[in-house]
A and B are shown apart, each in its own frame.
Chain A
Amino acid sequence: MSRDAPRPIGDTLLKVEDVSLGFGGVRALSGVSFDIRKGEIRAIIGPNGAGKSSMLNCINGFYQPSEGRITYKGKARGAMRPHEAARDGIARTFQNIALFRGMSTLDNIMTGRMLKMNRGFFWQCLHWGPAQSEEIEHREAVERVIDFLEIQAIRKVPVGRLPYGLQKRVELGRALAAEPELLLLDEPMAGMNLEEKEDMCRFILDVNEQFGTTIALIEHDMGVVMDISDRVVVLEYGRKIADGDPEAVKADPKVIDAYLGTGHG
């Protein structure tokens, strides 16, 4: 599963500098800095409660860091709302699947195209003229995503009825439909069986290779993380304890301590 051909890894796409985040008395993140380069797969790992999801939420605008700076595409960001992050090309999936349960797979993925629809509001309301041909155009894009993820058979099924693994795949599809530059995946393989995990790994690698999408992912399965990511950042209690390529991180004593506790042989 590991990658052989070297892919073009570009300049820094996103830079996190000294980011801290607190909720009341709890400090979720303290002075975390790292960067994500264009075209790479970047993993964020750490024990439960290390602040991994908080980090993604800061990048995506759900949380505003109390201190520090996030630079995206060379521009320092002020306070940003999630829909603005989406407009800037950041798409994501969630740890606890956040799909529109009453809608079909197709409609769910269609919502991912929301920002790509440019026709005037007026035409949209009439659902006629230019808006109609636009709808068809977006439908085609969505069909490509559906083919890519091999979910043709569940196109019309309300997602609330799908098994867990497929729901995760639909959620990935919705994020892909937005054609993001930066894709954030929060535990894309949690709760999956081996076969589903392998499928998901394949999709992640394919997305990265075929579309050149930069991916930042949180994952607990160390085997998967070490296999697919280019670089890994490790958090513990809201602090960064290691950062580097998988081999180096795996050998880092601080990381081993964090995962096994101190006093191991």
Chain B
Amino acid sequence: MDAIFDFLFGPLKEIWAYPTFFVEVVVGGLLTGVMYSLVALGFVLIFKASGVFNFAQGAMVLSAALSFVGFTELGVPQWLAMLLTLAMMVALAFVIERVVLRPLVNQAPIILFMATIGVTFFIDGFFQMLWGEDVKRLDIGIPKDPIEIHGVLVNTFDIVAAVVAGSLVATLAFFFQSTRIGRALRAVADDHQAAQSVGIPLQTIWVIVWSVAGIVALVAGIMWGSKLGVQFSLALVALKALPVLILGGFTSIPGAIIGGLIIGVGEKVAEVFWAEKIGGGIEDWFAYILALFFLMFRPQGLFGERIIERV
């Protein structure tokens, strides 16, 4: 009994004793959380617009970061490298729509999902072949010094990253929640055939959405890339987006944001305050346990559309 009590409330005493430290941890968690949201957002956009879980989102993050760094290494100025990579992501969207999605109109979601797994391998291989497999350093000139705000230590880079991610998320939420395009996207996700019959140009919508997902991948790639270095493991950051999606709901942009924040804060707090009770490394699995818990009690996530099954 005592052990359980100590497990649950021991760390709370600690939190009570050092409130500033706790705030610092929470802020750190929030800032990481925004970065998770950024990756999750790419998934949500495509899922909303085609009902497809895009397994290739992680690969897109990696490829965008690789191309950006690759271009700068060729001596291209950063702003131009950014534009070139952007063009590349849009071109990729066109190719995916033409080669993969168009022939698979009206197929079951699982088939489209399998197709995106294929796309993942292609993108991973192609872009590493193009730019090489070495770990690359990415520096876009954002300072990484810690600064103090009201006695709380925060990393400048994290703040910049959060502001960038936050404004991107806000812009997209605004864009895609608005009535007409939002309704068109939901329609396409629900039923391809019916969407076409009411006059929604399926191909155009797909190219737009995959392009936007590519842009989101570029931003995520640059942010995560300057944090972790540009290398293959960048594609795995996408795995952290999965629990975020389960928490927030696959169809909700605000859900992706809130989900990211909850997971960011949750894992940091658990890591810092509970590590000595159950051992370190909580950060690595906390998100997945939380997601599992959600799957049991609220499978559609916090903000997802209700799942209706009529038998």
Contact = CB atoms under 8 A, between A and B. Distances in A.
A121 B310 CA distance: 36
Given A100-B191, A101-B190, A114-B184, A86 B198 contact: yes
A103 B200 contact: no
A62 B202 contact: no
Interface in A73-91: 81-83, 86-87, 91
B: contact size bracket:
20 to 34
Interface of B is mostly: helix
Contacts of B198: 86, 91, 111-112, 114-115, 174, 178
Contact of B187 (A86, A94, A100): A100
Q: B175, B184, B196: which has the most chain A beta carbons within 10 Å?
A: B196
Interface of A is mostly: helix
Interface residues of A, number: 36
A94 B196 CA distance: 12
A121 B181 CA distance: 9
B178 interface: yes
A111 B187 contact: yes
B194 A125 contact: no
B186 A98 contact: no
A178 B195 CA distance: 13
Interface string B153-186: 0000000000000000000001100111101101
B180 A114 contact: yes
Q: A83, A160, A161: which has the most chain B beta carbons within 10 Å?
A: A83
A124 B187 CA distance: 17
Interface of B: 174-175, 178-181, 183-184, 186-187, 190-191, 193-203, 305-306, 308-310
Interface of A: 60, 62, 81-83, 86-87, 91-92, 94, 98-103, 107, 110-112, 114-115, 117, 121, 124-127, 131, 135, 158, 160-161, 174-175, 178
10 contacts: A83-B201, A101-B308, A102-B190, A103-B187, A110-B183, A111-B198, A114-B180, A114-B198, A115-B199, A174-B198
